[in-house]
A and B are shown apart, each in its own frame.
Chain A
């Protein structure tokens, strides 16, 4: 914890600081909403349909009388959770595949990396679209599809780093001391690539948020009642001419969320 605080103090990059601020504000708001939410994001109220911006409803209400601010908070939570799940699957599998290929090289590396290249040739969102159509819609399926679609990019980054590290003297030294391959990979090399990994995770998180929003907007992402920001944008599209305000809340939060993670990733990358 102290090391994290120390790192934050030392990293003078404005990208990093603005990114951190944006991400922290949004994450804190979402965390608070877990314990306190003034209105239910799903409860409809005929009497409060399409109310304008006020102190009681900071973003107004929608055509079903639901408080948009609370819905945005809930949607951000869903979006963040899906992005987290996606990155967790992508990173874990990416690290395992990348580490094995980069460290051992040889035929295994050739075969896996060619498959990787083939998958890499498709944009992640298109790949996710294919997986969603194969596995069906639903939140779990969405996380799995996006996670699998993100594996190639993570494994490529990790492989490159392991390939570079495996011939370094400290790795040879560890081998000489009798360290097993697993110990060298995960105790000796992995901590040294955490900077690169962390910035890739941030960028991956960002891409996952966008991909989820994109898929949900197309109607094959999250399913009601788990409305994500993308789903909210998709719903608001119907009223875009009469009530563009419905789109503003989720739209702005989505932009700030993506901007926050993007700047954070950039700040970490320029520092490392």
Chain B
């Protein structure tokens, strides 16, 4: 039995007086992919940002067994610094690594290693993000997140801004990384079909509350909550 990498119990988060998350509890085990589903504005991204420490004010318990969770953002156009070359962007997490100091040679080696994992050509290292396609950019974003070999990756709608064929490629890449590196992934998406393809477990959120949580197959076959049923039928699954 794999141990829990992330445990959240009774989490409440708000912005000022407005509460966004209500009593959220979940856990992600080592090597697990947990899908978080829900409509826009239901608090999925707030949950992600609280987990990675961008939102520090919260109530409840948040236990993280790794100190270096990484995140992939929705918009591959906005998440890469447009004034830096891909090579520079991939090395930045290593330059900022507090655990160890990387020599230039080690950095190059690690960049090549990660490039292979994200299936990108070395020639792209000297290009700017604007010279890459959406799919390539999202691969680079995933590459940046992988540079310091994290155990937990939080992917906030990583395929929503991409067209269907590229979506499939990125999902395949994530599944491959999950297997190869036994990477735990918290996969956030409003698209239940995408979650079906990738995630072992799913958590459905509505207005900041968890409405359903369980094994993806079971939840999809036998949804208990009306909202989950509505989402599934909207996605054309039921």
Please tell me if A169 contacts chain B, counting CB pairs below 8 Å: yes
Within 8 A of A (CB), among B43-79: 52-54, 70-71, 73-75, 78-79
Q: Which of A169, A188, A191 contacts B78 (CB 8 A)?
A: A169
| Contacting pair B93 A170 (CB below 8 A) | no
The number of chain B residues with a CB under 8 A from chain A is: 22
Please tell me if A175 contacts chain B, counting CB pairs below 8 Å: yes
Please tell me if A238 contacts chain B, counting CB pairs below 8 Å: no
Within 8 A of B (CB), among A161-206: 168-170, 172-179, 183, 188, 191-192, 194
| Contacting pair A170 B54 (CB below 8 A) | no
Bound-state CA distance A194–B83 (Å) is: 10
Bound-state CA distance A192–B78 (Å) is: 12
| Contacting pair A170 B92 (CB below 8 A) | no
How many Å from the CB of A144 to the closest CB on chain B?
32
Closest to B147 in A: A177
| Contacting pair A168 B54 (CB below 8 A) | no
How many Å from the CB of B171 to the closest CB on chain A?
20
Q: Which of A174, A176, A178, A194 contacts B81 (CB 8 A)?
A: A174
The number of chain A residues with a CB under 8 A from chain B is: 16
Residue numbers in B under 8 Å from A178 (CB-CB): 96-98
Q: Which of B80, B96, B98 contacts A170 (CB 8 A)?
A: B80
Residue numbers in B under 8 Å from A192 (CB-CB): 81-83
| Contacting pair B54 A173 (CB below 8 A) | no
Bound-state CA distance A188–B54 (Å) is: 18
Bound-state CA distance A177–B82 (Å) is: 17
| Contacting pair A173 B71 (CB below 8 A) | yes
| Contacting pair B54 A176 (CB below 8 A) | yes
Bound-state CA distance A102–B15 (Å) is: 20
Residue numbers in B under 8 Å from A174 (CB-CB): 81, 92
| Contacting pair A173 B96 (CB below 8 A) | no
Residue numbers in B under 8 Å from A168 (CB-CB): 78
| Contacting pair B73 A169 (CB below 8 A) | yes
Closest to B74 in A: A169
Please tell me if B144 contacts chain A, counting CB pairs below 8 Å: yes
Bound-state CA distance A194–B93 (Å) is: 24
Bound-state CA distance A168–B79 (Å) is: 7
Q: Which of B79, B97, B98 contacts A173 (CB 8 A)?
A: B79
Bound-state CA distance A183–B88 (Å) is: 14
| Contacting pair A176 B52 (CB below 8 A) | yes
Bound-state CA distance A168–B77 (Å) is: 10
Please judge, given known A-B contacts A168-B78, A169-B75, A169-B78, whether A176 and B70 are in contact too, CB under 8 Å.
Answer: yes
Residue numbers in B under 8 Å from A176 (CB-CB): 52-54, 70-71
Please judge, given known A-B contacts A169-B78, A170-B80, A191-B83, whether A175 and B54 are in contact too, CB under 8 Å.
Answer: yes
How many Å from the CB of B80 to the closest CB on chain A?
6
Closest to A172 in B: B54
| Contacting pair A170 B52 (CB below 8 A) | no
| Contacting pair A172 B83 (CB below 8 A) | no
Closest to A188 in B: B81
| Contacting pair A170 B79 (CB below 8 A) | yes
Bound-state CA distance A177–B54 (Å) is: 11
| Contacting pair A179 B96 (CB below 8 A) | yes
Residue numbers in B under 8 Å from A177 (CB-CB): 92-93, 96, 144
Bound-state CA distance A170–B79 (Å) is: 4
Please judge, given known A-B contacts A188-B81, A192-B82, whether A173 and B144 are in contact too, CB under 8 Å.
Answer: yes
Bound-state CA distance A188–B52 (Å) is: 20
Bound-state CA distance A194–B78 (Å) is: 18
Bound-state CA distance A191–B85 (Å) is: 12
Residue numbers in A under 8 Å from B71 (CB-CB): 173, 176
Residue numbers in B under 8 Å from A191 (CB-CB): 83-84
Other A-B pairs beyond A170-B82, A188-B81, 10, CB < 8 Å: A169-B74, A170-B78, A170-B80, A172-B54, A173-B71, A174-B81, A175-B54, A176-B71, A179-B92, A179-B96
9 nearest A-B pairs in the assembled complex, by CB-CB distance? A169-B79, A191-B83, A169-B78, A170-B81, A169-B73, A178-B96, A177-B93, A192-B83, A177-B96
A-B contact pairs, 22 of them (CB 8 A): A169-B74, A169-B75, A169-B78, A169-B79, A170-B79, A170-B81, A173-B73, A173-B79, A174-B81, A176-B53, A176-B71, A177-B92, A177-B93, A177-B96, A177-B144, A178-B97, A178-B98, A179-B92, A183-B96, A188-B84, A192-B81, A192-B83
Chain A residues near B (Cβ < 8 Å): 168-170, 172-179, 183, 188, 191-192, 194
